[in-house]
Chain A
């Protein structure tokens, strides 16, 4: 048997990270929830693609005299009936939503017969509308913007909170079981914390990359190349921002969790961090059409991972803006790692009552 060689800090860090990843991947709850999340993402992208490619058609009945008014309308599923009465009978039986029958009294020479409410779309389709010119036109429609905003928001929320709380639990588990006393007699405290942060960052990034891949593959398979062209770049930016945004949160989660000694108490110190994760999601839903709020959010490090990719998607950001925001984020990330590791180091071996923040930050 060879004699042991004192492992370098990097080796220690990797051993810890490896254990974090291994124990997470062996958790059934984690694997199942991740698979479900991927399945939902895939289904959502594909469903969105097909419903865009095949818009729903309104079934209508016409007679041979009225058939000409619906000619060339792709959003109608036209059935030609023998007579006006036969067409109306089809409405009564529910086979079609409306019948278009000749009406000599109407200026349009036809009338629409429906069951219990006026079919607005059909009425609009058959009406003559004046042309509309928008002076401030946005290339993206509001619904798509909303969906993209929610998409970035919810993925950030789920991944950051899932792995943030994983770190917190893992820190407290080691404290609660006192295994930490054995660990830090073997490796430096900073290696232990770095291993945890890196291990969970790898898992979180893995999840994000798979989600981005699902989105790209799903969009291209369902033929939504236009959406893909607009979303591809922002998704890559999202992954980059997420990486640093997550390290920032992970370091703070590790520090916050080290302040308590029991799983039950985690909430008391990680609550502010949970709020920080939740805030961008709520703000982006409320303000995704407010350029001022989005611009501010895209520079605040905690919300930049959600807001900057959204602004890029909307074409509202200059090319240099994500770079500036990223520099800000990385600087904050470095500060968070320093603060988090100081709290972690000062609190790790203090069992019992919750460590006060002031004491944890002391040199």
Chain B
């Protein structure tokens, strides 16, 4: 478990992080969401130790992080970079060797990982000859090649086509299943929503929401329901405590003032027509995000 506690950071008098704290649990994917300049990259760099915080603490399994611990981190920086003139496989193997793998293991790890990421044909090409999307995959390989216990990835999905997103997402889920703590930031909220077990939302340097995806959805669920019936649902408009948001013949989306009203509506619907579905409508991550950063 990676824990951030009360992290603060200022640049030249401007406070960019204020009391930032959250957990990144093992075996889970934690999405880190925030607008441009909200403090995501700064937070990740501090968690990794390439940047020093003004205050607060980063702990791994309850103890302050040592430089030895940081070797077990995998990192993908915001601005991508590998040696442009080095061959892809050689470069990834070099990074594995810096983390202490023997030459044979480093080569084997690098090759297997690159093949898994769809770069099997390009192992001996120079990094600079790869397309941006493929460089991105190589960059992900660079973060993963030493089998880290904690993964910190800054925008791992940006610039990837949908197929590549699936490949990378699959690899991250595999790693999480093996017990790795994964923290990644993304602007692609649909991807975050699909993948993440836990969510952290940051805005203007403060954490606005943090928790499991389900908790967050429940907390922001509100009282919106969706009803599909075979008959005409026009009676909904006259029901007290109901506000219809969207309506089309037998289907309606509506807000209720409380749970009692929702139950009453369901009973009436069953009495008057054939109910195909009746369900609370969960807010999308995009909606939650807009709400909490407001």
Contacts and interface: CB of A to CB of B under 8 A. Distances in A.
Contacts of B80: 177-178
A177 B78 CA distance: 11
A23 B98 contact: no
Interface of A: 1-2, 4-7, 12, 15-16, 19, 23, 173-174, 176-188, 349
A277 to B, nearest CB: 26
Among all A-B residue pairs, the 9 with the closest Cβ atoms: A177-B81, A178-B81, A4-B100, A186-B98, A179-B81, A181-B77, A4-B101, A178-B79, A7-B100
Given A176-B81, A185-B70, A186-B98, 20 more contacts: A1-B109, A4-B96, A4-B100, A4-B101, A12-B98, A23-B83, A177-B80, A177-B82, A177-B83, A178-B80, A181-B45, A181-B75, A182-B75, A182-B95, A183-B95, A185-B49, A185-B50, A186-B71, A187-B98, A349-B51
B166 interface: no
Nearest to A188: B67
A188 B68 CA distance: 10
Interface in B93-108: 94-102, 105, 108
Nearest to B45: A181
Interface of B: 45, 48-51, 67-68, 70-71, 73, 75, 77, 79-86, 94-102, 105, 108-109, 142-143, 146-147
Contacts of A182: 75, 77, 81, 95, 142-143
Nearest to B74: A185
B93 to A, nearest CB: 11
A23 B98 CA distance: 16
B32 to A, nearest CB: 17
26 contacts: A1-B105, A1-B108, A2-B102, A2-B105, A4-B147, A6-B71, A7-B97, A7-B99, A19-B94, A174-B83, A177-B81, A177-B82, A178-B79, A181-B75, A182-B75, A182-B77, A182-B142, A183-B98, A185-B49, A185-B70, A185-B73, A186-B71, A186-B95, A186-B98, A186-B99, A186-B146
A183 B102 CA distance: 17
A230 B36 CA distance: 70
A208 B50 CA distance: 38
Nearest to A4: B100
B77 A178 contact: yes
A4 to B, nearest CB: 4
Contacts of A176: 81
A180 B48 CA distance: 13
Given A178-B80, A182-B95, A4 B105 contact: yes
A264 to B, nearest CB: 16
Contacts of B85: 23
B81 A184 contact: no
Nearest to A349: B50
A184 B51 CA distance: 11
Contact of A185 (B48, B81, B108): B48
A192 to B, nearest CB: 9
A181 B98 CA distance: 13
A359 to B, nearest CB: 12
Choose among A2, A15, A182 the residue with the greatest number of B CB atoms under 10 Å from its CB: A182
Nearest to A195: B98
Nearest to B100: A4
Contacts of B143: 182
A57 to B, nearest CB: 55
Choose among A181, A183, A185 the residue with the greatest number of B CB atoms under 10 Å from its CB: A185
A356 B141 CA distance: 35
Choose among B79, B81, B101, B146 the residue with the greatest number of A CB atoms under 10 Å from its CB: B81
A194 to B, nearest CB: 14
A176 B108 CA distance: 29
A185 B96 CA distance: 12
A214 to B, nearest CB: 30
Nearest to B51: A349
Nearest to B103: A15
A176 B83 CA distance: 10
Nearest to B82: A179
B99 A4 contact: yes
Contacts of A2: 102, 105
A99 B96 CA distance: 81
Given A1-B109, A182-B77, A15 B94 contact: yes
A184 B75 CA distance: 11
A173 B83 contact: yes
A40 to B, nearest CB: 27
Contacts of A6: 68, 71, 100
A15 B97 contact: yes
B142 A4 contact: no
Contacts of A5: 100
A91 B249 CA distance: 122
A174 B91 CA distance: 13
A250 to B, nearest CB: 20
